[in-house]
Structure 1
Amino acid sequence: MKTAIIGGSAFTGLPEGYFEEMNVIDEIFPDTPWGKPSAPIEIVSLNKTEIIFLPRHGEVARIAPHKINYKANIWALHEINVKNIISISAVGGITKLMSPKNIIIPDQIIDYTHNRDHTFSDGGSISNKYIDFTNP
């Protein structure tokens, strides 16, 4: 099962030379029905495990969050049979209880995606699937 890592603004590439067993297999920049993804997709082998990497904000983190072509990113990963996605983001903290080096799993969500499409479906052939935000 293929796993992709989508890197945020502070994670624009896999650390070269950090892992002895990491080898770049391929780099692809596919066209999708929604255009190109944010950057070329890197396919690497790490300890005989294939890992896919896509920098969400582009190769040098210059794409603003509201300008990211999310549909192209997800479609491109889908086309190469990615089944799992790990998304890494750097964010500011709102409490001292959440200090650096902690992993936080939110149980509430503030939805800032109100000015962009929420689904691949336009009412045509792709089924409409969504997350219900009634009780986050």
Structure 2
Amino acid sequence: MAAPAYPRPTLAVIGGSGFYDFFDDGAVDVAVETPYGAPSGPVTIGTVGERTVAFLPRHGAQHQFSPHTVPYRANMWALRSVGVRRVFGPCAVGSLTPQLGPGAVVVPDQLVDRTSGREQTYFDGGGVHVSFADPYCAELRAAAVQEGVGDGGTMVVVEGPRFSTRAESQWFAAQGWQLVNMTGHPEAVLARELEMCYAAIALVTDLDAGVEAGGGVRAVDVFAEFARNIGPFKALVRTAIAAVAGDDTCADCRVHDGVQLPIALP
């Protein structure tokens, strides 16, 4: 088999709302076909320091995919196909507590799934079950937690594309959850099924509707807040990449050891 015509990245960044590019120059776009259709766009491969890194905009380069239509299975499969084994998933989130205001960055350690109808597994047969008690890789989380970054918190993922009602956000807050998002699931569990380390890095863009009185969340304000913080946020992700040790999946994220899979992973 001929060697690929591009450097093999072992680490990837999936950019969220407002995070549509990552490299200054010298990057190459790689079109990847998957059994699950086309990913959100070509996989862009470039360098961050001494490391070869892949980048994929979760919503597409023109934000053409809403949270419930993102081709999550194709995205994650495409990344593993080009060599990726570790993934950072930057994302925009709402805050469920006044202690985390717009501009705060948090590396969550737990996830609650409140989505419905999304394709969330590669294993439609074969009786395969993955451990997901700790949905984020501890090694990647440690690399992402820097000075001024919140360490830990629960992110509840809602179906979207609408924002929460006041009653819903008050309910989420009453459970002790700190963040609300629309894309963190099934991305994290698909990474686990593909035995890729994964960690979310959450940028707070707003206080959710039930946290305080006011007009509620507006998309235009969310995008504006993300745009104000995108420079420092990208710099934070680059610092996290530099702090990652090694290239391969950590032992905790190799969840299929000793299991006969019904499909071959790429």
In which range does the TM-score fall when normalised by the shorter chain? 0.7 to 0.9
Q: 1:103 deviation in Å?
A: 2.6
Q: Secondary structure at 1:76's aligned position in 2? A: helix
Correspondence for 2:77: 75
Q: Deviations over 1:20-77 (max 9, x none)?
A: xx531x2112110001101111000222310110000001112001001100001001
Residue 19 of structure 1: aligned partner: none
Report the equivalent of 2:259: none
Give the structure 2 partner of residue 10 of structure 1: 18
TM superposition shift of 1:113 = 3.0
- Cα 1:107–1:45 shift into 2, 3 Å: closer
> 2:49 pairs with 42, 47, 50, which one?
47
Ranges in structure 1 where 5+ consecutive residues have no aligned partner: 17-21
Of the three residues 108, 118, 130, the one matched with 2:120 is 118
Structure 1 residue 129 corresponds to structure 2 residue 130: yes
Contact 1:27–1:40 (Cα < 8 Å) also in 2:
yes
| Matched residue count | 127
Letter in structure 1 aligned against 2:123 = S
In the TM superposition, residue 105 of structure 1 has moved relative to its aligned partner by 3.3
Distance apart, 1:79 and its partner CA? 0.7
The change in CA–CA distance for 1:98 and 1:47 in structure 2 (over 3 A counts) is same
CA contact (8 A) 2:11 2:52 kept: yes
Matched, 1:90 2:98: no
**Which residue identity lines up with residue 85 of structure 2 in the other structure?**
K
**TM-score when normalising by structure 2:** 0.43
Alignment CA distance shift 1:105-1:45 (3 Å): closer
Report the Cα distance in structure 2 between the residues aligned to 1:59 and 1:37, rounded to whole angstroms: 11
CA distance in 2, matches of 1:105, 1:88: 9
Name the CA shift for 1:81/1:115 in 2 (closer, same or farther; >3 Å): same
Distance 2:95 2:128 in 1: 37
Structure exhibiting the larger radius of gyration computed from Cα positions: 2
Give TM-score, length-normalised by structure 1. Answer: 0.80
Partner of 1:23: 26
Q: Which moved more, 1:38-47 or 1:51-60?
A: 38-47
Bigger Cα displacement from structure 2, 106-115 vs 7-16: 106-115
Separation (CA, whole Å) in 2 of partners of 1:132 and 1:114 = 20
Structure 1 residue identity aligned to 2:14: I
Q: Which runs of 5+ in 2 are unaligned?
A: 1-8, 135-153, 155-266
